[in-house]
Amino acid sequence: MAEYEGGYDLLSYIDNLEGALRYAKKKELSQAIVKGIDEIHSGMKELDPLIQSENQEKRMKADVEEKLNELYLACKDGEGGKAMGFMRELRDRVNTLKTLFQEGRVKLVDKPLR
18, 41 contact by CB (below 8 A): yes
Instruction: Give the model's pLDDT for residue 5.
Output: 65
Instruction: Give the model's pLDDT for residue 10.
Output: 82
For the chain, percent of residues with pLDDT exceeding 70: 85
Query: To 10 degrees, what angle do helices 10-26 and 31-47 make?
Result: 170
Q: Single out the residue of 33, 25, 23 nearest to residue 86, CA to CA.
A: 33
| One-letter identity of residue 30 | S
Helix (H) or strand (E) holding 2: none
> What secondary structure letter does DSSP report for 53?
S
> What secondary structure letter does DSSP report for 103?
T
pLDDT in tens, 70-107: 999 999 999 999 999 999 999 999 999 999 998 887 65
What value does the mean pLDDT take over residues 40-53? 90
| pTM for this predicted structure | 0.85
pLDDT in tens, 1-11: 445 566 567 88
What value does the mean pLDDT take over residues 45-66? 89
Instruction: Give the model's pLDDT for residue 51.
Output: 87
> What secondary structure letter does DSSP report for 50?
G
Cβ-Cβ contacts under 8 Å for 19 (sequence gap 6 or more): 72, 75, 76
